[in-house]
Amino acid sequence: MIIYSNSCSYGATSDGPVYSEFVANHFGAQLINHGLPGCCNERIFRTSTRDILKIVKDNNPDDVLVLIGLTNTFRGEHWGSTPTKYADGHFQSFTSSTQAGFVKNFQQEFYKLYDQEAAITNLLSHLVMFVSFLKTVNVKYLIWTNTPDLKSIDVTMDFVEPFYKHINKDKNILPLFDFNFCNYAQSAGHQTIDRQCDQGGHPDTNAHEYFSKFLISNLKPHRLDTSSSEH
């Protein structure tokens, strides 16, 4: 069995093993964790698609489980000149605190034009297409939000409602705006290794182990049926 995990730092950074390692150990599986600190959702979708295409080329899709921890929409990308970790190409993710080199000017313009409705609508539309891809290659998956600050919008508007309804029916996508790893761990009293959780702090390894048990409980055969998205 192969477990593929992708995320920002919340699935790649701690003071010990992270949740994907605990899940892989539970199933005795090979782990491929391509989570990258500071990255955005566009990078997660793009590199996951690339990596999964490579994995299913040489492995039985029935033996592949994909774990995706989404991040907030306040992160963007810039086409730069230096490839980032894991041979991601020339995309450089940035956050509101990035102030380095060629990213700085692009980042300033990005936040001038940032629109929450557009960002969430794009996230949901990309998620619909990404999940359709996962079903096409017939791999199992579980998707959720890692960060505590993914903000919802009015999902009854025509430009976003079809995406939201489609995602809401998928039993392998946990409620994106009502549930996240950070708050789940914090509500159980687990600590962060740097800042406070609500300030962007990263959960400690005990929190990752605690969360891994929650993920495992959601990785039951009936939940991993990719033949239908109905609850």
At 197 the pLDDT is 58
At 80 the pLDDT is 79
At 229 the pLDDT is 43
- Would you place residue 222 in the very low, low, confident or very high pLDDT band (cuts 50, 70, 90)? very low
Q: Tell me the domains of the chain and their CATH numbers.
A: 2-217 (3.40.50.1110)
At 231 the pLDDT is 37
68 pLDDT more than 70: yes
CA distance 5 to 65: 9
Please name the residues in contact with 155: beta carbons below 8 A apart, sequence gap of 6 or more: 161, 164
SS (H, E, C) 74-122: CCEEEECCCCCHHHCCCEEEECCCCCCCCHHHHHHHHHHHCCHHHHHHH
What pLDDT digit, counting tens, does each position of 25-60 carry?
999 999 999 999 889 999 999 999 999 999 999 999
pTM of the model: 0.92
- Would you place residue 230 in the very low, low, confident or very high pLDDT band (cuts 50, 70, 90)? very low
The token pair at 39 is: 């990255």
- If you average pLDDT over residues 108-113, what whole number do you get? 89
Q: Which of 81, 95, 3, 1 is nearest to 43 (CA)?
A: 95
Question: To the nearest whole percent, how much of the chain has pLDDT over 90?
Answer: 71
CA distance 6 to 4: 7
What pLDDT digit, counting tens, does each position of 194-216 carry?
876 556 689 999 999 999 999 99
The token pair at 114 is: 């940032």
**Burial of 48 by CB count in 10 Å (0-12 exposed, 13-18 middle, 19+ buried)?**
buried
CA distance 16 to 18: 6
Q: What is the mean pLDDT of the chain?
A: 89
At 88 the pLDDT is 84
Q: Which of the pair, 125 or 225, is modelled with greater confidence?
A: 125
